[in-house]
């Protein structure tokens, strides 16, 4: 059975890189060696592996990788700390233009 991994690296500039592989050890070594001069991590070495999730289905791994890549820094750090209970709160919209966050007078329909 093939295994797939979504991993996160903390780069030397304190940014995060999220990727997917079927061999975490080899892939992290490639990032450390700077094997691809065009890679995000090339000029941000050294990198440190800070998170790994394992999947049995490649489609699940790809979907999770895309999801995490879309997250902000705070949410990624909650994932790294495995504080899963905090993820729903960080997922909710805080934008004042969102209906549930709008001031009450803006919520009511005009007559």
Separation between Cα atoms, residue 89 and residue 29, nearest integer Å: 35
> How high does pLDDT run on average in the chain?
89
Q: How confident is the model at residue 97 (pLDDT cuts 50, 70, 90)?
A: low
Is pLDDT above 90 for 55?
yes
Cα distance between the two ends of the chain:
62
- Tally helices (H) and strands (E) across the chain: 5, 3
Is pLDDT above 90 for 18?
yes
Ramachandran region, residue 10 (left: φ > 0; alpha: ψ -120 to 50; beta: rest): beta
Q: Which residues of 35-54 are buried (b: 16+ CB within 10 A; e: fewer)?
A: eeeeebbeebeebeebbebe
In the CATH hierarchy, which top-level class contains the domain 4-107?
A: alpha beta
pTM (2 d.p.): 0.81
Torsion of CA 23, 14, 87, 5, to 10 degrees: 0
């Amino acid at each position: 059975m093939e295994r797939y991994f979504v991993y996160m690296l903390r780069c030397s500039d304190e940014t995060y890189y999220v990727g997917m592989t079927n061999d975490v050890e080899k892939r992290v070594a490639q990032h450390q060696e700077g094997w691809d001069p065009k890679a995000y991590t090339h000029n941000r070495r050294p990198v440190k592996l800070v998170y790994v999730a394992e999947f049995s289905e490649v489609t699940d791994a790809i979907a999770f990788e895309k999801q995490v890549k879309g997250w902000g820094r705070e949410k990624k750090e909650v994932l790294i700390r495995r504080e899963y209970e905090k993820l729903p709160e960080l997922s909710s919209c805080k934008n004042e233009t969102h209906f549930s966050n709008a001031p009450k007078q803006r919520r009511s329909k005009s007559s």
